[in-house]
């Protein structure tokens, strides 16, 4: 079992991704959860770089960290914890845990050769395999071309724009209600440090 | 498209954060620290702070974030298009114009709804 | 340097690694040391612009003022407010400075003088920029202060809004070069893009000013409304780091404008291959300082605008304008023949002239629209409150209205 | 390179963590965050399969990019819905929103 630099980097980013994700699910404080979400998504961006998809890595950081998570934080700030709930999780969380664990084991068992590896003689998983074929140097240009090529992804591309438009209009319709504005800036604060948010 | 060009970024991520930390540590060792309750109070123009810092915000901020998310996703898609533009025909411009216009429709709608006003 | 290390007897990989590590520290330290000089320069220049002397006590021309300030700020007591989220509170200034330093990784200082020439350079700049936003939010939240939190949210609302026109402006050189790598963009500028697309340069500078929170968009620290914005609870070196980050970011914007629009390290009338590395670096420095001078000039001249005006100016003026600008440039780029194989100044001449003409037309049309709107606005105000003295030049401060 | 199945394990782990969050968190915004995690797990799979199986075609990257769009649209509409419900019911706890039970 040879450990290369790439394998170490892979392990580090995987740990960031999974550790951040665990914190998202477990943390009491919603603001912290959002920050951990950023960390986790940053780890995913690192994995994308390792997979030779730098454009997707950049897009991941710009869209997820720079936009979606910021939006989530804005939303968190708009809905302060009126009900100071001490419980973060449902009471039936063991069931969910069992379900998730079962799914994980099932996925790993069916999708990976890990089971065979373990069955043979202990842990002998190899961290390096032969490189798959190289990514063409102009793959990014090809991406741009394929997006506007009527024979390839033009239709999904325009549909994506349509989806964004519909989402934006719908969201503005939902959020922008000038008739009732309960979220005045001076609304009563919801008690002490909001660490008990669900 | 190789990983090599990213080694520098990786090293920078590992080592670069130390540079801002060094002056912080320097300050930590050099500066005096005699905190007292009055000093540690939250700054609020001389009066006692009332309630938590987690105040509710106006939905106003949120609408701008909404519009931004939609535009940000679109901008990311514009990058590969701009990259390949020299190798594409005029139809590429037309398609991108449609792509942009669809979102401009949403922007105009938001504008007309008065959601972009800061009341 | 790699060769020397290999000669000593190190393996090639290790030599490359060490060379890159040294590069990391050179890039980052230079950035931080530069601020020592740059802050002095900024204070001196804005002092002169406002008919003051600026620093003149410590050292010749007050040159060591920043050094003295650094020592002072290091010795200041560092307070953590009650109920602060300690981790986030301490992490925020580090992340703020670090996110700006990250930008320097891809900036081409001269031919071959570059941290790393990423193939997605421009996108990387945006990604690094979003980390700064996170730092702002962390600082606002971590301080446990209403003003800090409000300031942070205002700041982020402003940052995200102005990112849209900024990116649209950055897309124009990407489109003209056909590459996102910054080195390629510099080398592609046989005639500086700024000469062909002055409107894009304006959009980039205006939105960047908002991105760095400089006057007239310095709402982040609107003293009258928010005390000092998101870093009100910070003192000592932590405040110093925010200050360094802000200053360094402002200068970085100057460098970026130079790289994207003013030919970067290229010297006019000299081909990229013939430019000596050191002269190229000097050329970049001079151009960046000139852009930075403009930023300082704007800062010392214009009054601050209100938050509603800031956001309106962006969404109702800058975004539509930059979208139109991008489409016009793209259209002309296809109409003018042979734009996809520019390899000399002569090739670049025709596209530059065409684009310049179109830009001037666009600017004229935009100004006419603005004038008409301004006139209507004044009539509206006059109808409400009666005629204002000197109504012609006392238009409301809204730049876009 | 690292073998493909390792990426799949990471993606599976991320997906299951997200699933656990969706099933157990009570706050609607936290549920939304967990859904984002699951979408990212999908994206890791898409990109990993693209890299190892068809690096010469661009499809994998295109689909991953479309997942970004979907994720953004989902976040935009989802959060707006949560806010709308919050205004009406003064709660963001998912199980308190039980208007359809009657």
Radius of gyration of chain C (CA): 23
Which of C120, C129, C141 faces A55 most closely, judged by CB atoms?
Answer: C120
Chain A residues close to D52, C-beta within 8 Å: 132
State what percent of residues in chain A have pLDDT above 90.
Answer: 28
Q: How far apart are alpha carbons A167 and B90 in whole angstroms?
A: 29
Between residues C14 and C204, which one has the greater pLDDT?
C204
Residues 85-124 of C with CB under 8 A from B: 90, 93-94, 97-98, 101-102, 105, 115-120, 122-124
Which has the minimum average pLDDT: A68-77, C54-63, D78-87, D91-100? D91-100
Residue C25 has pLDDT above 60, yes or no: yes
Distances (CA, A) of C385 to B99, C254, C378, C389, D73: 44, 43, 10, 11, 45
Q: Is C323 on the interface with B (CB under 8 A)?
A: yes
Distances (CA, A) of C146 to A107, C25, C120, C242: 47, 38, 39, 19
Whether residues A104 and D52 touch (CB distance < 8 A) is answered with: no
Residue A97 lies in a domain: yes
Q: C311: closest CA among C152, C172, C155?
A: C155
Alpha-carbon gap: C63 to the closest alpha carbon of chain B (Å): 21
Which of B64, B83, B117 faces C160 most closely, judged by CB atoms?
Answer: B64
Q: Is D4-93 a CATH 1.10.287.3510 domain?
A: yes
Distances (CA, A) of B32 to B26, B56, C239, C241: 12, 37, 16, 18
Task: Give the confidence band of A76 by pLDDT, cuts at 50, 70, 90.
Answer: confident
Q: Are residues A4 and A44 in the same domain?
A: yes
Residue C311 has pLDDT above 90, yes or no: no
Task: Give the confidence band of A121 by pLDDT, cuts at 50, 70, 90.
Answer: very low
Mean pLDDT in residue range B54-79: 83
Q: How far apart are alpha carbons C26 and C18 in whole angstroms?
A: 12
Between residues C340 and B2, which one has the greater pLDDT?
C340
Chain B residues close to A6, C-beta within 8 Å: 3
Q: How far apart are alpha carbons D84 and C266 in whole angstroms?
A: 55
Longest Cα–Cα distance in chain D: 56
Which of B39, B55, B84 faces C79 most closely, judged by CB atoms?
Answer: B39
CB of A42 closer than 8 Å to CB of A16: yes
Q: Is A115 on the interface with D (CB under 8 A)?
A: no
C332 Cβ neighbours under 8 A, 6+ residues apart: C351, C354, C355, C358
Whether residues B12 and C105 touch (CB distance < 8 A) is answered with: yes
Task: Quote the number of domains for chain C.
Answer: 1
Q: Is B84 on the interface with A (CB under 8 A)?
A: yes
Whether residues C79 and B54 touch (CB distance < 8 A) is answered with: no
Between residues D102 and A148, which one has the greater pLDDT?
A148
Whether residues C143 and B42 touch (CB distance < 8 A) is answered with: yes
ipTM attached to this prediction: 0.89
C7 Cβ neighbours under 8 A, 6+ residues apart: none
Residue C305 lies in a domain: yes
Q: What is the pLDDT of residues D41-54, one digit of tens each?
A: 999 999 998 988 88
CB-defined contacts A:B, below 8 A:
176
Choose the mutation target among C151, C170, C237 for the interface with B, i.e. most B CBs under 10 Å. C237
Choose the mutation target among D37, D52, D77 for the interface with A, i.e. most A CBs under 10 Å. D37
Q: State yes or no: chains A and B have 3 or more CB pairs below 8 A.
A: yes
Q: Could you tell me the residue range of the domain that residue A115 belongs to?
A: 93-127
Whether residues C330 and B116 touch (CB distance < 8 A) is answered with: no
Q: How far apart are alpha carbons A166 and A148 in whole angstroms?
A: 21
Q: Report domain extents, chain B.
A: 36-112
Average confidence score pLDDT of chain C: 84
Residue A34 has pLDDT above 70, yes or no: yes
Choose the mutation target among A148, A163, A167 for the interface with B, i.e. most B CBs under 10 Å. A148
CB-defined contacts B:D, below 8 A:
17
Q: Are residues A36 and A58 in the same domain?
A: yes
Burial class (CB in 10 A: 0-12, 13-18, 19+), C13: exposed
Q: Is A90 on the interface with B (CB under 8 A)?
A: no
3-class DSSP string for chain A: CCCCHHHHHHHHHHHHHHHHHHHHHHCCCHHHHHHHHHHHHHHHHHHHHHCCCHHHHHHHHHHHHHHHHHHHHHHHHHCCCCCCCCCCECCCHHHHHHHHHHHHHHHHHHHCCHHHHHHHHCCCCCCCCCCCCCCCCCHHHHHHHHHHCCCCCHHHHHHHHHHHHHHHHHHHHHHCCCCCCCCCCCCCCCCCCCCCCC
Alpha carbon A126 to its chain's center? 28
Chain C residues close to B12, C-beta within 8 Å: 24, 27-28, 101-102, 105, 115
Q: How far apart are alpha carbons C313 and C305 in whole angstroms?
A: 10
Average confidence score pLDDT of chain B: 81
Mean pLDDT in residue range C252-278: 86
Mean pLDDT in residue range A16-32: 90
Mean pLDDT in residue range B100-107: 89
Neighbours of C17 (CB within 10 A): 17
Whether residues D68 and B73 touch (CB distance < 8 A) is answered with: yes
Q: What is the pLDDT of residues C186-216, one digit of tens each?
A: 988 888 888 889 999 999 999 999 888 777 7
Query: b/e map of B37-47 (b: 16 or more CB within 10 Å)?
Result: eeeeebbeeee
Q: What is the pLDDT of residues D19-31, one digit of tens each?
A: 999 988 888 889 9
Q: Is A30 on the interface with D (CB under 8 A)?
A: yes
Which of B34, B54, B93 faces C330 most closely, judged by CB atoms?
Answer: B93
Strand, helix or coil for residue C270: coil
Residue A154 has pLDDT above 50, yes or no: yes
Q: How far apart are alpha carbons C69 and C185 in whole angstroms?
A: 39
pLDDT for residue C395: 47
Q: Are residues A75 and A6 in the same domain?
A: yes
Q: What is the pLDDT of residues C210-242, one digit of tens each?
A: 888 777 777 666 655 566 677 778 888 888 888
Task: Give the confidence band of A182 by pLDDT, cuts at 50, 70, 90.
Answer: very low
Alpha-carbon gap: B37 to the closest alpha carbon of chain D (Å): 35
Q: Is D89 on the interface with A (CB under 8 A)?
A: no
Which residues of chain A have a Cβ shorter than 8 Å from any chain C Cβ? Answer: 31, 35, 38, 45, 54-55, 57-59, 61-62, 65-67, 70, 73-74, 77, 140-141, 185, 193
CB of A37 closer than 8 Å to CB of D29: no
Task: Give the confidence band of A30 by pLDDT, cuts at 50, 70, 90.
Answer: confident
Residue B48 has pLDDT above 90, yes or no: no
Q: What is the pLDDT of residues C364-384, one digit of tens each?
A: 999 999 999 889 988 888 888
Whether residues C79 and B40 touch (CB distance < 8 A) is answered with: yes
Chain C residues close to A73, C-beta within 8 Å: 137
Q: Are residues A69 and A146 in the same domain?
A: no
Neighbours of B21 (CB within 10 A): 16
Q: State yes or no: chains C and A have 3 or more CB pairs below 8 A.
A: yes
Between residues C164 and C277, which one has the greater pLDDT?
C164
Residue C169 has pLDDT above 90, yes or no: yes
Q: What is the pLDDT of residues C323-362, one digit of tens each?
A: 999 999 999 888 887 777 777 788 888 888 888 999 999 9
Q: Is A5 on the interface with D (CB under 8 A)?
A: no
CB of A88 closer than 8 Å to CB of C154: no
Mean pLDDT in residue range B16-25: 86
Task: Quote the number of domains for chain A.
Answer: 3
Which helix (DSSP H) or strand (DSSP E) does residue C113 occupy?
strand C113-114
Q: Are residues A2 and A83 in the same domain?
A: yes
CB of C47 closer than 8 Å to CB of B34: no
The three-point CA angle C152-C148-C143 to 5° equals 110
Residue D18 has pLDDT above 50, yes or no: yes
Chain A residues close to B78, C-beta within 8 Å: none
CB of A51 closer than 8 Å to CB of A134: no
Q: Are residues A56 and A113 in the same domain?
A: no
Residue A12 lies in a domain: yes
Residue C172 has pLDDT above 80, yes or no: yes
DSSP code at position C118? -
Task: Give the confidence band of C74 by pLDDT, cuts at 50, 70, 90.
Answer: confident
Q: How far apart are alpha carbons C139 and C221 in whole angstroms?
A: 14
pLDDT for residue C191: 87
* Residue D19, preceding peptide bond in cis (omega within 30° of 0): no
Which helix (DSSP H) or strand (DSSP E) does residue C211 occupy?
helix C198-211
Distances (CA, A) of C21 to A54, B10, C96, C344: 22, 10, 22, 36
Radius of gyration of chain D (CA): 17
Which residue of chain A comes nearest to C152, CA vs CA? A74
Q: How far apart are alpha carbons C257 and B65 in whole angstroms?
A: 26
Chain C residues close to B78, C-beta within 8 Å: 167-168, 171, 326
Mean pLDDT in residue range C300-318: 84
Q: State yes or no: chains C and B have 3 or more CB pairs below 8 A.
A: yes
CB of D64 closer than 8 Å to CB of A139: no
Phi (first) and psi of residue B35, to 5 degrees: -70, 145
Whether residues A140 and C129 touch (CB distance < 8 A) is answered with: no
Strand, helix or coil for residue D93: strand
Q: How far apart are alpha carbons B117 and C12 in whole angstroms?
A: 60
Whether residues B95 and A75 touch (CB distance < 8 A) is answered with: no
C158 Cβ neighbours under 8 A, 6+ residues apart: C210, C213, C217, C219, C220, C307, C310, C311
Length of chain D: 102
Whether residues D20 and A97 touch (CB distance < 8 A) is answered with: yes
**Residue A46, domain CATH:** 1.20.120.1200
pLDDT for residue D85: 84
Length of chain B: 119
If one looks up domain B36-112 in CATH, what number appears? 1.20.58.1610
């Amino acid at each position: 079992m040879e450990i290369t630099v790439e394998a170490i980097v892979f392990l580090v980013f995987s740990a960031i991704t999974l550790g951040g994700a665990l914190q998202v699910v477990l943390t009491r404080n919603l603001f912290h959860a959002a920050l951990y979400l950023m960390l986790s998504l940053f780890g995913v961006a690192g994995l994308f770089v390792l997979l030779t998809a730098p454009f997707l890595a950049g897009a991941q950081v710009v869209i997820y960290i720079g936009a979606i998570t910021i939006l989530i934080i804005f939303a968190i700030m708009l809905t302060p914890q009126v009900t100071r709930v001490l419980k973060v999780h449902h009471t039936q969380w063991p069931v969910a845990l069992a379900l998730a664990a079962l799914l994980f084991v099932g996925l790993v068992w069916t999708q990976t050769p890990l089971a065979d590896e373990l069955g043979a003689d202990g842990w002998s998983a190899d961290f390096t395999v032969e490189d798959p074929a190289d990514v063409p140097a102009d793959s990014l240009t090809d991406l741009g071309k394929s997006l506007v090529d009527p024979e390839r992804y033009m239709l999904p591309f325009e549909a994506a724009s349509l989806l964004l438009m519909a989402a934006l209009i719908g969201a503005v319709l939902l959020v922008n209600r000038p008739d009732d504005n309960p979220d005045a800036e001076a609304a009563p604060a919801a008690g002490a440090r909001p660490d008990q948010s669900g | 498209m190789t990983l090599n060009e990213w080694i520098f970024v990786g090293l920078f991520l590992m080592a670069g954060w130390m540079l801002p930390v060094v002056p912080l540590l320097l300050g930590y060792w050099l500066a005096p620290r005699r905190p007292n309750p009055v000093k540690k109070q939250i700054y609020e123009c001389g009066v006692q702070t009332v309630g938590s810092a987690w105040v509710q915000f106006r939905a106003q901020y949120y609408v701008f974030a909404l519009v931004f998310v939609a535009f940000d996703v679109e901008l990311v898609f514009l990058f590969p298009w701009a990259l390949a533009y020299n190798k594409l025909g005029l139809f590429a411009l037309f398609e991108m114009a449609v792509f942009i216009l669809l979102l401009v429709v949403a922007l105009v709608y938001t504008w007309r709804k008065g959601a972009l006003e800061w009341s | 340097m790699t060769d020397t290390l290999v000669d000593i007897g190190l393996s090639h990989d290790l030599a490359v690694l060490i060379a890159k590590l040294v590069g990391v520290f050179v890039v980052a330290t230079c950035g931080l040391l530069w601020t020592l000089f740059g802050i002095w320069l900024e204070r001196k220049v804005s002092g002169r612009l406002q008919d003051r002397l600026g620093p003149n006590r410590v050292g010749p021309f007050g040159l060591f003022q920043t050094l003295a300030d650094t020592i002072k700020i290091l010795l200041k007591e560092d307070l953590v407010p009650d109920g602060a989220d300690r981790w986030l509170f301490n992490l925020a200034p580090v992340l703020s400075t670090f996110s700006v330093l990250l930008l320097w990784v891809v900036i081409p200082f001269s031919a071959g003088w570059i941290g790393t020439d990423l193939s997605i350079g421009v996108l990387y700049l945006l990604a690094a920029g979003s980390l700064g936003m996170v730092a702002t939010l962390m600082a606002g939240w971590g301080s446990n202060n209403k003003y800090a939190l409000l300031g942070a949210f205002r700041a982020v609302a402003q940052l995200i809004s102005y990112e849209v026109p900024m990116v649209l402006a950055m897309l124009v050189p990407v489109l003209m070069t056909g590459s996102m790598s910054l080195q390629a963009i510099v080398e592609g500028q046989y005639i500086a893009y700024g000469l062909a697309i002055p409107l894009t340069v304006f959009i980039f500078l205006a939105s960047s000013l908002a991105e760095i929170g400089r006057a007239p968009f310095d709402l982040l620290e609107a003293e009258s409304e928010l005390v000092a914005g998101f870093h009100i609870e910070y003192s000592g070196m932590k405040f110093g780091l925010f200050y360094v980050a802000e200053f360094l970011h402002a200068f970085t914007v100057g460098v970026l404008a130079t790289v994207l629009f003013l030919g970067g390290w290229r010297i006019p009338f000299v081909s990229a291959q013939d430019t000596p590395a050191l002269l190229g670096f000097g050329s970049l420095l001079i151009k960046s300082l000139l852009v930075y001078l403009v930023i300082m000039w704007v800062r010392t001249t214009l009054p601050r605008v209100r938050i509603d005006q800031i956001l309106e100016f962006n969404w109702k003026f800058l975004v539509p304008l930059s979208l139109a600008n991008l489409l016009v440039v793209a259209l002309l780029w296809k109409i003018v023949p042979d734009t996809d194989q520019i390899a000399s100044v002569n090739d670049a001449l025709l596209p530059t002239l065409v684009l310049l003409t179109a830009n001037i037309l666009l600017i004229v049309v935009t100004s006419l629209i603005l004038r008409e709107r301004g006139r209507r606005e004044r009539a509206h105000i006059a109808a409400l409150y009666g005629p204002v003295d000197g109504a012609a030049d006392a238009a409301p401060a809204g730049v876009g209205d | 390179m690292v073998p493909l199945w390792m990426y799949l394990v990471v993606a599976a782990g991320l997906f299951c963590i997200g699933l656990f969050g969706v099933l157990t968190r009570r706050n609607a915004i936290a549920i939304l965050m967990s859904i984002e995690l699951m979408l990212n797990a999908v994206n890791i799979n898409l990109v990993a399969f693209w890299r190892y199986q068809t690096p010469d075609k661009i499809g994998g990257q295109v689909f991953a990019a479309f997942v970004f769009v979907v994720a953004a649209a989902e976040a935009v509409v989802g959060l707006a819905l949560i806010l709308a419900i919050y205004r009406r019911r003064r709660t963001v706890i998912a199980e308190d929103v039980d208007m359809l039970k009657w």
